[in-house]
Amino acid sequence: MKKLSENVYKVASPVYVSAHYSVVGKMESEGPLADCFDERIEDEKFGQETFEKGESQLLITAARGAIKKSGIPQSDFGAFLSGDLENQIIASSMAARVLGIPYLGLYGACSTMAESIVLGSFIMSAAKEKAVLCGACSHFCAAERQYRFPLEFGCQRTPTAQWTVTGAGATVLGSRKSAIRITNMAIGRVIDMGVTDANNMGAAMAPAAANTLKSLFDATETTPADYDAIVSGDLGQVGHDILLELMEERKLPLIKEKYFDCGLMIFDREKQDVHAGGSGCGCSASVLNGFFLRAIEKGEMKRILFMATGALMSPTSSQQGESIPGVAHAVVFEREEESR
């Protein structure tokens, strides 16, 4: 691991993506990316009694799927890093209870997928582990009843509001060579521009995203043109538009055709009433593992910059009128050409 600047690291001893797996709920299976996901479920509770347990089951399924695909025996996994949106990240902890891999619970709100991969890469290179499992999940029903109102409560969503994705993604980081390699990473700073509206999380997260992108570009001496795709987690329509403008101000304009937002990709905003787009840990987790890593594997993309964004508010801080701390972590994935 080589430090390039204050918050940007180059992964010196290679870390590869050995396997990736994604599981999504019903609405996501009706969206444009339906065919990309490894598993789609119809029942929102996933055969469990509560939405919370259902969410945990999503993560367990994604984790087991990824472990199986990697072909690495479970005893070789040095750590399981995961988080979700539930109070005290109980969905992840319940999943860890079943999996039995040494577990570090993370809270990074919707930035969790990138956070887990960043930390996973550090563990890989520090401890020379054979494999580390990274994951994240979210569930619309569980998030809604915790952060906003009961599901049956009749209230209108504002146009800037986003729809929490029911989904989970798991990535196995391994030391054995594979088609996808992690090359650079940026740990985000918390940026808060005073946005207090919890129904406009895209606006709260966009400045953090701009900050992380700039530090990564500067430290690695790259520009947006050097990437086949720059992917933000769940900025939604509002955050997407703001980020484009903020990057223009920073003289690093993103190329519109190569800039994607998972929150905008996962749903069809014309047909599905999701307002500004998808959000939640499961949004970037499922789209990264279901779509982008697969695209690199197939050789359709060579180098992508994945940046998951998180709005780190709590229901309590929102009620107290506190503004929303935003964060964004970035990971660069590159295709490793086979030298056979």
Partner 1 sequence: MDKKERRQQAYQRLVEKHSHSSNFAQGLFRAFWVGGVICVIGQCFADLARILFEFTDSQAAGFAGICLIFTTAVLTGLGVFDKLAQYAGGGTIVPITGFANSVISPALEFKKEGFVLGTGAKLYVIAGPVLTYGISTAAVLGLFYFLYGVIFP
Partner 2 sequence: MTYLWCFLIGGGICVIGELLILLTKLTPARILVIYIVAGVILSFCGLYRPIVELAGAGATVPLTGFGYALWEGTRKAIEEQGAIGILTGGLGATAGGIAAAIVFGFITALITEPKAKHE
Residues in touch with partner 1 (CB under 8 A):
49-50, 145, 149-160, 193-195, 200, 203, 207, 237-238, 241-242, 245-246, 273
Long-range residue pairs from 149-158, CB within 8 A, at least 24 positions apart, any chain: 157/199, 157/275, 158/199, 158/200, 158/275
Q: How far is the CB of 256 from partner 2 (least distance, A)?
A: 28
Any idea what DSSP says for residue 258?
G
207 binds, among partner 1, partner 2, none (CB under 5 to 8 A by kind): partner 1
Query: Residue 222 binds which entry of partner 1, partner 2, none, with Cβ cut-offs from 5 to 8 Å by kind?
Result: none
Of 57 and 82, CB closest to partner 2? 57
Please list every residue from 169 through 208 that binds partner 2, using CB under 8 A. Answer: 197, 199
Q: How is residue 198 annotated by DSSP?
A: T
Q: Which is nearer to partner 2, 156 or 320 (CB)?
A: 156
Residue 128-167 contact track with partner 2, rule CB under 8 A, x = bound: ------------xx--x----xxxxx-xx-----------
SS3 (DSSP) at 67:
helix
Asked whether position 52 contacts partner 2 by CB under 8 A, the answer is no
* Token pair for 225: 């043109």
The number of CA neighbours under 13 Å toward the Cβ of 238 is 20
> Does residue 126 interact with partner 2 by CB under 8 A?
no
Tell which phi-psi region holds residue 293, choosing left (phi > 0), alpha (psi between -120 and 50) or beta: alpha
Per rule CB under 8 A, is residue 51 in the interface with partner 2? yes
Other Cβ atoms less than 10 A from the Cβ of 191: the count is 18
Compose the 205-244 pattern: x for residues touching partner 2 by CB under 8 A, - for all others: ----------------------------------------
Size of residue set near partner 2 by CB under 8 A? 20
Tell which one of 38, 44, 52, 129 touches partner 2 (CB under 8 A): 44
Q: Which is nearer to partner 2, 123 or 274 (CB)?
A: 274
Strands 163-164 and 167-174: unpaired
Nearest to 212 by CA among 238, 232, 242: 232
Give the span between the Cα atoms of 226 and 205, in whole angstroms. 24
The CA distances from residue 199 to 165, 251, 329, in Å, are 15, 29, 22
Residues that bind partner 2 (CB under 8 A): 26-27, 44-45, 51, 140-141, 144, 149-153, 155-156, 197, 199, 272-274
